[in-house]
Amino acid sequence: MADRATQIVNFYETTLTSLLASAGTSCTVAAAPTTNGSTVITASNGDENTWFYLVVDPDNSGTREVIVVKTSSSTTFSLLGRDIENRYSGSPPDHQANTTVRMAVLQQHIGDQNDRVATNITSLTTAITNFNTNSAAAITTHNTNSSAAITTFNTNGTAAISGITGSSANAMMAGAANGAGMTIDNSTDYVLLYDNNTTTAKRVTLSQLNVGASIGLVLALGS
């Protein structure tokens, strides 16, 4: 069979309106196949998923024939695939007008569906394999890049910390804005001081200084 979702509807039965000769590849029928008794199904030769199987003369074991309809428009069927079972070695019998045509669940339907499932399982298996392979590679790359990034961060962080010296503190103070017009709030304002004992810059809130020292410090900084 083939990987295709051939169509099937319930309770479809009709008759030929004219002769379907042994070599014929088209026919007309009295009623079109429908879903829910109203919507006509259509077969398109460009899309195998729309094809449908029919049994011509299903109640006569000597002349019954399974066909596949590849193109249809209402009650006109064309591009017929004849003798699908190869019951007649490719030379099926003539079918006269008024011969019964019936849609039934056939081995061909099941074969198509089985092929479709098998193909999808194969595709899914391949997809899972590819996903696992690609995920493993992605995790390895992530770990490698993350390790490198952490190393770079630590290196740069260490360098940045080492760069905080007395001279950098002096440069920071030298670049500070003029505090003229500033209203001093002992609880929140602060100054930067250089601690020569530890050779580090320190932040000291004005509340840590007594009032006299604060005024003296401000005057000293302003001079």
| pLDDT by 10s per residue, the chain, length 223 | 577 888 989 999 999 999 999 999 999 999 999 998 889 999 999 998 899 999 999 999 999 999 999 999 999 999 999 999 999 999 999 999 999 999 988 877 677 767 766 666 666 677 777 777 777 777 888 888 888 888 888 888 777 777 766 677 677 667 777 777 777 766 677 777 778 888 777 877 777 665 445 455 554 555 5
Decide if 27 is inside a domain: yes
pLDDT score, position 118: 66
| Domain stop point among 112, 134, 156 | 112
Decide if 208 is inside a domain: yes
pLDDT score, position 211: 45
Q: Name the phi and psi angles at 153, rounded to 5.
A: -60, -45
pTM of the model: 0.52
pLDDT score, position 187: 66
pLDDT score, position 209: 65
Decide if 93 is inside a domain: yes
**Claim to verify: residue 22 and residue 96 sit in the same structural domain:** yes
**Claim to verify: residue 86 and residue 176 sit in the same structural domain:** no
Per the structure, the count of domains in the chain is 2
**Claim to verify: residue 93 and residue 172 sit in the same structural domain:** no
| Domain stop point among 44, 79, 112 | 112
**Claim to verify: residue 107 and residue 170 sit in the same structural domain:** no
pLDDT score, position 102: 97
- Is beta strand 190-195 parallel, antiparallel or unpaired with respect to 34-35? unpaired
**Claim to verify: residue 18 and residue 89 sit in the same structural domain:** yes
| Residue (of 171, 218, 175, 173) closest to 192 by Cα position | 173
Decide if 158 is inside a domain: no
CA 193 to chain centre: 59
For the four alpha carbons of 113, 114, 119 and 121, in that order, the dihedral sign comes to positive
Decide if 203 is inside a domain: yes
Write out the H or E segment, with its range, that includes residue 200.
Answer: strand 200-205
| Domain stop point among 72, 92, 112 | 112
Provide the residue range defining the domain that includes 185.
166-222
Decide if 133 is inside a domain: no
